[in-house]
A and B are shown apart, each in its own frame.
Chain A
Amino acid sequence: MYGLLWRALPGPWIVKLLICLVLIAAAVYVLMEYVFPVIAPHMPFNDATIEEGG
């Protein structure tokens, strides 16, 4: 999987490495900024309120 990605990337290894780092940074950003905030409310430790049926 990652082997294919590595082979698909252009340029010498240093360029490939840089592209990989950029891809990883982008993935981390998307996860932290958009994905985790959507998941977090469903986690069992984030509820501080008292409500009917809570």
Chain B
Amino acid sequence: MRTGSGPVHQAAAHTQALPASPAGPGGFGSGPRHAGPGTGLVGSAPGHSAPTAGGATAQSVFAASAASQTAYGNPPPGGGQTAGGAAAASAAGSKRTDRKRQTEYEPLGPVRGTIRAFGELCITAGMVLILFVVWQLWWTDIAANKDNEVLADQLITEWRDNPDNELPDDPDTPYVAEPVDENSGFGIMYVPRFGDDYYRTVAEGVSLEPVLNRMGVGRYPSSAMPGEVGNFAIAGHRVTYGKPLNQIHQLRPGDDIVVQTADGYYTYTFRNFEIVLPDATEVLSAVPMLPDYKGKDRIMTLTACNPMFSARERYVAYAELTDWTPAGDGAPESIADSPAYDKVGGEA
């Protein structure tokens, strides 16, 4: 290859000289065989002596064939050489396909074939598991947050279109929210402790689909409505699906939990928490843990799984209604300036 490179350049120089010659482009299509007359023309050009012309002919023919074998990687500008180069390239190409066919017909016995198929299945199963984890930990959050935004927008628009802003007769007595159909949203919950921009929609029912997985937190249908005497109990995911109650353990006594409905804003104040077993339904009763009592307080109970990523126990947070603002009076101070309230569009 290296020894051939000298003559190759020479040949290129010779054939490149051809377009300038009076023979014209017609002599080109006929291929490298016509290098003879070509060199004759070059030989007749001034500055070339006859004896060297013969030598040049032999040399250039050899060089052209050498070039056609080596130079197919980068096509040379000369026409004659291109034809030779193309031929060489096609020869090399057929060589390549020969090699490929050989690898394609690789013999694989039944044992090796089975082992390979099993290995490929294992790898596929691993990929699917990884995809599941990605979906569960990452995608469900994205999907649920989007659903949450859409639903909050819907609620705000609905409330704006049907304003129900007359003050109740007694402003100190909270207006009890109207019950809604199962699987439909009726409120938006703000918890400043969970972040300035935290808000989640509140829907009716505690089914995983669609309420808890798509609609934020869900109200236990057997419990009270916001503002009602009794226990307004909601459930929410602590991990995945938008993780509405991810930071439930960060609540400190005195923290506000504001629930906005069509009628106004219910401010519940966090009091205490406990960790119970999953079947401890007494936490949902009007007086939590004392199911036989009727109660006179307006309690809110939030339930989420505990510890995170486990269903062994439930984390239960209790709050009590401490403030109520009719919708016409605007949002309470605790959330009025928060980015969450701005984002929801509640200022209108």
Q: Using a CB–CB distance below 8 Å, which chain A residues touch chain B?
A: 1-3, 7, 28, 31-32, 36-37, 39-41, 43-54
What is the bound-complex CA distance between A50 and B310, given in angstroms?
A: 14
Closest 10 A/B residue pairs (Cβ): A47-B311, A45-B309, A54-B278, A49-B235, A1-B117, A1-B120, A49-B206, A48-B235, A48-B305, A48-B304
What is the bound-complex CA distance between A51 and B276, given in angstroms?
A: 12
What is the bound-complex CA distance between A28 and B140, given in angstroms?
A: 15
B242 to chain A, nearest CB (A): 12
Inter-chain contacts of A7 with B (CB < 8 A):
104
In the complex, 9 of the A-B residue pairs with CB atoms within 8 angstroms, ordered by the A residue number, are A31-B128, A36-B136, A39-B132, A44-B309, A49-B303, A50-B278, A50-B280, A50-B281, A50-B303
Report yes or no: B131 in contact with A31, Cβ–Cβ below 8 A: yes
Give the contacting residue for B120; candidates A2, A36, A37, A52; CB below 8 A.
Answer: A2
Report yes or no: A28 in contact with B131, Cβ–Cβ below 8 A: yes
Report yes or no: A48 in contact with B212, Cβ–Cβ below 8 A: yes
Closest to B123 in A: A2
B140 to chain A, nearest CB (A): 8
Whether B298 is near chain A, meaning CB under 8 Å from some CB there, is no
What is the bound-complex CA distance between A43 and B278, given in angstroms?
A: 15
Inter-chain contacts of B347 with A (CB < 8 A):
none
Whether B279 is near chain A, meaning CB under 8 Å from some CB there, is yes
Inter-chain contacts of A54 with B (CB < 8 A):
278-279
Inter-chain contacts of B235 with A (CB < 8 A):
48-50
Inter-chain contacts of A45 with B (CB < 8 A):
239-240, 305, 308-311
Report yes or no: A48 in contact with B236, Cβ–Cβ below 8 A: yes
What is the bound-complex CA distance between A1 and B108, given in angstroms?
A: 12
Residues of chain B from 274 to 301 with CB closer than 8 A to chain A in the complex: 276, 278-281, 283-284
Closest to B302 in A: A48
Inter-chain contacts of A48 with B (CB < 8 A):
212, 235-238, 245, 303-305, 314
What is the bound-complex CA distance between A52 and B140, given in angstroms?
A: 27
Query: A1-B120, A48-B237, A50-B235 are contacts. A36–B303 as well, Cβ < 8 Å?
Result: no
What is the bound-complex CA distance between A17 and B212, given in angstroms?
A: 40
Whether B121 is near chain A, meaning CB under 8 Å from some CB there, is yes
